[in-house]
Amino acid sequence: MPDLSSQPVVLRDRRPEDLPTFTRWLTDERAAWREWDAPYTPAAQTSETMQAYIRYLQVTPPDADERVIEVGGQVVGMVNRSEEEPAGGGWWDLGILIYDPAYWEGGVGTRALSLWVQDTLDWTDAHTLTVTTWSGNERMMRAARRLGFQECARVREARVVGGQRYDSVRLDLLRREWPQHGPTGA
């Protein structure tokens, strides 16, 4: 595996040739990402949701609110965003998922999230950006904090993972706070 810090991180539209990669990673019930991305959701429900999502991807064009994460020509994950209600209020929630564990812990997630923050600020009316996770996902919280996100909400012991209780955690970033950090670059 090459040094991930030297590999460019690119966010791009989904292509038809990406579908086999998405299908392999999203439908694998033993995939390591499932231990970190909402592991409190029952596995059968996650599998059902992922199967429906693959069917959706097969019949819909790329969406401006979703991008593929590519590193060195390899599809390694995706980012997404959704506008919180009410529409036009300027609050957007961001998500990131790196499927392939070979690309964890090398700064790929932080760089992808940085690019996604910039894209969201460039193309939406976003005033407030949030990321939502659980207290066991320290990598996600660390990546967000590196970019200037601050914890804004914590629901204590709201999630059960492996029989243990964890907090639900939301971090936020205001548009005016972003320029001081700027994107970390691809």
Stated as kind and residue range, the H or E segment containing 146 is helix 138-146
Cβ neighbours of residue 63 closer than 8 Å, sequence gap 6 or more: 14
DSSP state of 127: S
d(CA 142, CA 97): 14
Residue 159 has pLDDT above 90, yes or no: yes
* pLDDT at position 105: 86
* pLDDT at position 37: 87
Residues 7-36 pLDDT 10s = 899 999 999 999 999 888 888 888 888 888
Q: φ, ψ for residue 129 (rounded to 5)?
A: -115, 140
Residues 41-86 pLDDT 10s = 878 888 888 889 888 988 999 999 999 999 989 999 999 999 999 9
Domain chopping of the chain, boundaries: 4-177
DSSP state of 102: G
59: burial class by Cβ within 10 Å (0-12, 13-18, 19+)? Answer: exposed
pLDDT band for 110, please (50, 70, 90 cuts): very high
d(CA 14, CA 121): 21
d(CA 159, CA 101): 23
d(CA 143, CA 60): 31
Percentage above 70 pLDDT, the chain: 95
Provide the β-strand partners of residue 66.
Answer: 80
Residue 185 has pLDDT above 80, yes or no: no
133: burial class by Cβ within 10 Å (0-12, 13-18, 19+)? Answer: buried
* pLDDT at position 151: 98
* pLDDT at position 35: 87
**148 with 173: CB under 8 angstroms?**
yes
Q: Fold for 4-177, please state it.
A: Aminopeptidase (3.40.630)
Residues 161-175 pLDDT 10s = 999 999 999 999 999
